[in-house]
Amino acid sequence: MTDVIIVGAGPCGISAAIELKKEGFEPLIIEKGCLVNSIYHYPLSMTFFSSADKLEIGGIPFITINEKPTRQEALAYFRTVCRVHELNVHTYEKVVQMDRTDSGFRVVTAKRDEKRVYEVPAVVLATGYYDNPHLMNIPGEESDHVHHYFHDAHPYADQNVVVIGGRNSAIDVALDLHHVGANVTMVYRREQFSPSVKAWVKPVIEAAIEKGRVKMYWGSEVKEIKPNSVVIEQNEKQIEIPADTVFAMTGYRPNLEPVRRLGGKIDEDTGVPYLTEAMETTIPGLYLAGVVATGHDSTKIFIENGRHHGRMIARDLRRKRS
C-alpha cells in the first residue's frame, strides 16, 4: 500500500523512491509526462555538464563511452535504474489537487478522463523547474516564432535566428544552429560569459564570435519581439535585428504554488522555501527533493547534489515512524 507519494519522475524523484524503499516504505512516483520528462525534452545533441559517476543513483553504475554522458545515454540509464529497483511509477498522470488532512495529505490526480485519489501521510515534491521559463514580459514574447525550449537545429537552417541569453543552454543552442547553417545572433545582458559556462564549450563559442560566425550583442536588453525582428537596447541605442525565429534561453524557475497553497513558508527575496536539514517544509510531512528547492538561483541545486536529498528524507520519515 502506498505510504509516500513522490511528485516528479526525474533523477531526484527516482533517487528518493529508491531510498524510501530501502527504509521499508512503499513509494509511488506520479509524473505528468514520461519518465525523466525534463531530460527527454533536452536538445537532441545535449551533453551533460556532469561526469557519469556524479549522475549515478541507486548504486547502479552509469556506463558511457563518452567523457560526458549524452541525453540518449541518460534516458537509457534512468529507465534501467527504475527497472532494477522495481519502482512504482505512474507516468502521464497529473496531480490536480493536494490538500492537508488530519493524517497527512489527500492527493487528486487525473489520467486522461480518470480521476484518482490517494491518502498518504507524506509527499515529496521533486518537480524540478524546467516547466516554468523565466519570462521577459516584453511585447511579442508570446508570438509563435518565440521559443523557450530547443529540440533540434535542423528546422532553422538558413534562417535568421536570435538567441537570447548567455549561459550554457543559450551557448549550446547558438552553436547547434550555427552548425546547420543558421545566421545566428546572440543577445546577452551581461558584458561577458559567466564562469559557470562549460570549460570545453567556452573557447568554441568565443572563437565563433571572434571570427564573426556568431554575432554577439553584449550588455544588451531585449525591448520587443516583432514578427520579423528583435528590438534591443545597447548603450542607450536601439537596434533592430532580423529574426525569423527567436530562442529565449532565459532560464527557468521552480513551481512552488503547491507549497504556497498548503501554507508553507517561502523566503520571497530568494524564492527558497524554509526547509529543515531533512528537506521538510514548514508543512509537516511535505518534503522537497532536487532543484525545486533552489529558489531563484537554479545553479545551486542540480542532479549531482539533489540526488542525495532522498536519503535525508527517507531517514527522517523512518525516524518519525519508529
Residue-range domain boundaries for the chain: 4-132+252-321, 146-248
In Å, how far from its chain's centre is CA 26?
26
Place of cell 552548425: 179
| 245-248 β-sheet, strand order | 146-147, 245-248, 160-164, 183-187, 214-217
pLDDT tens per residue, range 56-73: 999 999 999 888 899 999
- pLDDT higher than 70, residue 308: yes
Give, in words, the CATH class of 4-132+252-321: alpha beta
Alpha-carbon distance of 143 to 163, in angstroms, equals: 15
Question: Whose CA is closest to 177, among 188, 161, 195?
Answer: 161
The strand pairing partners of 7, in sequence order, are 30, 125
- pLDDT higher than 80, residue 301: no
Q: Does an H or E element contain 182, and which?
A: none
pLDDT tens per residue, range 1-39: 899 999 999 999 999 999 999 999 999 999 999 999 999
Instruction: Give the pLDDT confidence score for residue 40 in this predicted structure.
Output: 94
Question: Whose CA is closest to 248, among 160, 300, 173?
Answer: 173
- The SS3 call for residue 251 is coil
Contact between residue 186 and residue 166 where contact means Cβ atoms under 8 Å apart: yes
Residue 130 or residue 178, greater confidence: 178
Alpha-carbon distance of 119 to 99, in angstroms, equals: 10
Q: Does an H or E element contain 312, and which?
A: helix 309-321
Share of the chain above pLDDT 90, in %: 79
pLDDT tens per residue, range 137-175: 999 999 999 999 999 999 999 999 999 999 999 999 999
Q: Which CATH number fits domain 146-248: 3.40.718.10, 3.40.640.10, 3.90.1300.10, 3.50.50.60?
A: 3.50.50.60
The strand pairing partners of 240, in sequence order, are 231
Predicted structure pTM score: 0.90
Q: Could you tell me the pLDDT band of residue 313, with boundaries at 50, 70 and 90?
A: very high
Contact between residue 135 and residue 141 where contact means Cβ atoms under 8 Å apart: yes
The reply to whether 146-248 shares the fold of 4-132+252-321 is yes
Contacts of 202 (CB under 8 A, 6+ apart): 171, 193
Q: Could you tell me the pLDDT band of residue 89, with boundaries at 50, 70 and 90?
A: very high
Contacts of 117 (CB under 8 A, 6+ apart): 106, 107, 108, 109
Alpha-carbon distance of 221 to 226, in angstroms, equals: 15
Backbone angles phi, psi at 284, to 5 degrees: -55, 130
Q: Average pLDDT, stretch 125-131? A: 87
Instruction: Give the pLDDT confidence score for residue 298 in this predicted structure.
Output: 65
Instruction: Give the pLDDT confidence score for residue 199 in this predicted structure.
Output: 86
- pLDDT higher than 90, residue 213: yes
Instruction: Give the pLDDT confidence score for residue 164 in this predicted structure.
Output: 98
Alpha-carbon distance of 230 to 214, in angstroms, equals: 16
Note the residue count of the chain.
Answer: 322
- pLDDT higher than 80, residue 227: yes
CB neighbourhood size of 140 (10 A) = 18
Instruction: Give the pLDDT confidence score for residue 255 in this predicted structure.
Output: 87
Q: Could you tell me the pLDDT band of residue 105, with boundaries at 50, 70 and 90?
A: very high
Instruction: Give the pLDDT confidence score for residue 200 in this predicted structure.
Output: 87
- pLDDT higher than 90, residue 306: no
Residue 89 amino acid letter: V
Instruction: Give the pLDDT confidence score for residue 299 in this predicted structure.
Output: 65
Contacts of 52 (CB under 8 A, 6+ apart): 62, 63, 64, 68, 69, 73
Specify the range with the lowest mean pLDDT, choosing from 160-174, 215-229, 282-296.
282-296
- Report strand pairing: 27-30 vs 89-90: parallel
Q: Average pLDDT, stretch 83-98? A: 97
Mean pLDDT of the chain: 93
> What are the start-end ranges of the H helices in 47-127?
71-84
Contact between residue 230 and residue 162 where contact means Cβ atoms under 8 Å apart: yes
Share of the chain above pLDDT 70, in %: 98
